[in-house]
């Protein structure tokens, strides 16, 4: 399985406009991974449930992009959900189904 990882760095107004247009055009394809900086067990469970709910309440064949906004770069490298996706294991969102996004979009990561 191949997963394309795209980093979006906004360094100008033109970047912002181009990226915003691209994101808005693809929004229906996205599931969002949020609050990566919060790493308590409760917050990790919340992230998992939030992602599961996005997948359960969607037409799964449409959701092909995992989207992460404003993460710390070091946290992105350690996140277990992202690690499993990048290692080809996908994200299991119920007992019988695993989601394999074809793309991961990371917007404005910072150190």
Q: What is the pLDDT of residues 68-104, one digit of tens each?
A: 988 887 788 788 999 999 999 999 998 899 999 999 9
Going by C-beta distance under 8 Å and a sequence separation of 6 or more, which residues neighbour residue 108?
8, 9, 10, 69, 70
Whether the pLDDT of residue 17 is over 90: the answer is yes
Q: What is the mean pLDDT of the chain?
A: 89
For residues 1 and 104, is the Cβ–Cβ distance under 8 A?
A: no
User: How many CA atoms are closer than 13 Å to the CA of 40, on its beta-carbon side?
Assistant: 3
Whose structure tokens read 């799964």? 60
* pLDDT for res 111: 60
Q: Which of the pair, 49 or 61, is modelled with greater confidence?
A: 49
Q: State the pTM of this model.
A: 0.88
Question: Buried b vs exposed e over 74-91: b needs ≥16 C-beta within 10 Å?
Answer: eebeebebbeebeeeebb
* DSSP β-bridge partners for residue 7: 106
């Amino acid at each position: 399985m191949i997963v394309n990882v795209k980093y979006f760095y906004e360094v100008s107004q033109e970047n912002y406009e181009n990226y915003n247009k691209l994101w808005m055009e693809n929004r229906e394809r996205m599931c969002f991974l949020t609050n990566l900086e919060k790493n308590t067990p409760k917050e990790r469970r919340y992230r998992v449930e939030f992602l599961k709910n996005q997948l359960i309440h969607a037409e799964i064949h449409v959701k092909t992009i995992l989207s992460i906004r404003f993460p710390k770069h070091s946290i992105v490298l350690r996140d277990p959900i992202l690690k499993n996706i990048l290692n080809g294991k996908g994200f299991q969102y119920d007992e019988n189904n695993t989601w394999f996004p074809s793309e991961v979009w990371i917007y404005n990561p910072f150190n």
